[in-house]
Amino acid sequence: MAYVAMPEAAAEYLFQIISGRAERASVIVTTNLPFAEGTTMFPNARLCKEMLGRLTDQAHIIETGNESYRFRRTLTSRKAGNR
């Protein structure tokens, strides 16, 4: 999740899906956004807070840094002479 802000209706539907699923099974979400920038994705700050609450309850949060894996792979490939 990132880059494109969701319309409010889409964010509400996603919240319903996450809410229902989070109580029954694992949910995996990947994003390049730090938690503090969540409101750039979800226009409603209250909905954003509740979504993060559901996603982070009993969560394993793995931060891999700010550098994009894909960008790093592209640079490595170009240095090696591959396209």
- Model pLDDT for residues 8-49, shown as the tens digit of each residue: 898 899 889 988 888 888 888 888 778 778 778 887 889 888
Contact 68, 30 (CB under 8 A): no
pTM of structure? 0.66
The tens digit of pLDDT for each residue in 51-77 reads 888 888 888 888 777 677 788 888 888
Residues with Cβ within 8 Å of 11's Cβ and at least 6 positions away in sequence, in order, are 41, 42, 43, 44, 47, 51
For 51, counting Cβ atoms within 10 Å of its Cβ (0-12 exposed, 13-18 middle, 19+ buried), the class is buried
